[in-house]
């Protein structure tokens, strides 16, 4: 590791390709995870009451809410991942593995979303479902942040980046860790309310009017 950071740009020219495939596998997993979320919606209906479809659709609201939260969260992680790889100059073996760990937790999201939809209607079970869902969202956030922090420490990022730009990105790629911890605790007592909280965090992460835009101003000074 320390060897390659002595020759930041030219030491391993081939590892630029490694970055391309890291993006390809990540985009693949993000796309499939987004689309698989919907499978957990489809299942309840096959056993549903045929007569009152509108009532059945309304009755299934926890499933739709979970789908919305999970889609928004995967979307926010994708946006963060996208921003991160824009500034990555090269990859190294540790980064590829940290990224695989992030994808591992993303792959679990459709399962956790299905659990949430299935058990939000049952007393007791909703607590376990909500807390384990929150822990998974937290782990995804921690890993996205860890990938970026490692990249900065191992000098894999674009050397033209100023220090304040890096710290700005570090802030952006640390999405709502505190918020998730609070919501997990809240979920022990009020499972349903915490899911709305996860939605709020996801919406907040997706809002584009944030520090990034100010970056442009800074650079021109």
Q: Which is nearer to its own copies, 114 or 179 (CB)?
A: 114
Q: Which is nearer to its own copies, 53 or 185 (CB)?
A: 53
Stretch of 119-127, 138-146, 180-188, 192-200 contacting its own copies, by CB under 8 A = 119-127
The C-alpha atoms of residue 169 and residue 163 are separated, in whole angstroms, by 10
Give just the sign of the alpha carbon dihedral 109, 115, 121, 125. Answer: negative
CA dist 44 to 9, 50, 85, 88, 102, Å? 53, 12, 38, 43, 29
Minimum distance of its own copies from residue 196's CB (angstroms): 18
Q: Give the residues across from 22 on adjacent strands.
A: none
Quick check: 162 binds its own copies (CB under 8 A)?
Answer: no
Enumerate residues 18-37 that contact its own copies by CB under 8 A: 18, 21, 23-25, 27-37
Enumerate residues 52-91 that contact its own copies by CB under 8 A: 52-54, 57, 71, 75, 78-79, 82, 85-87
Among 8, 59, 89, 128, binds its own copies (CB under 8 A): 128
The C-alpha atoms of residue 182 and residue 194 are separated, in whole angstroms, by 9
How many residues at the interface with its own copies, by CB under 8 A?
Answer: 74
Question: Is residue 126 packed enough to be buried (19+ CB in 10 Å), middle (13-18) or exposed (0-12)?
Answer: buried
Minimum distance of its own copies from residue 16's CB (angstroms): 9
Quick check: 146 binds its own copies (CB under 8 A)?
Answer: no
Quick check: 206 binds its own copies (CB under 8 A)?
Answer: yes
Among 178, 189, 220, 221, binds its own copies (CB under 8 A): 220
Maximum pairwise Cα distance, the chain: 70
Phi, psi of 88 (to 5 degrees): -75, 130
Minimum distance of its own copies from residue 216's CB (angstroms): 4
């Amino acid at each position: 590791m320390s060897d390659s950071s002595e020759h930041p740009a030219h030491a391993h020219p081939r590892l630029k390709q490694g970055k391309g495939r890291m993006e390809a596998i990540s985009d693949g997993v993000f796309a499939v995870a987004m689309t698989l979320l919907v499978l957990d919606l489809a299942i309840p209906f096959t056993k549903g009451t045929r007569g009152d479809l509108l009532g059945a659709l309304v009755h299934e609201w926890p499933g739709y809410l979970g789908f919305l939260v999970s889609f928004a969260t995967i979307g926010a992680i994708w946006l963060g991942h996208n921003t991160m790889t824009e500034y990555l100059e090269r990859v190294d073996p540790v980064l590829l593995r940290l990224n695989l760990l992030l994808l591992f937790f993303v792959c679990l999201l459709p399962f956790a979303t299905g659990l949430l939809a299935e058990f939000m209607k049952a007393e007791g079970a909703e607590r376990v479902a909500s807390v384990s869902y929150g822990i998974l969202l937290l782990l995804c956030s921690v890993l996205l942040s860890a990938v970026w922090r490692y990249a900065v420490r191992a000098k894999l990022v674009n050397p033209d980046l100023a220090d304040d730009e890096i710290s700005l990105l570090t802030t952006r790629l640390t999405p709502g860790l505190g918020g998730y911890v609070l919501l997990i605790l809240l979920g022990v007592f009020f499972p349903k309310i915490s899911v709305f909280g996860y939605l709020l965090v996801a919406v907040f992460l997706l809002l584009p009017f944030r520090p990034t835009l100010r970056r442009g101003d800074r650079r021109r000074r």
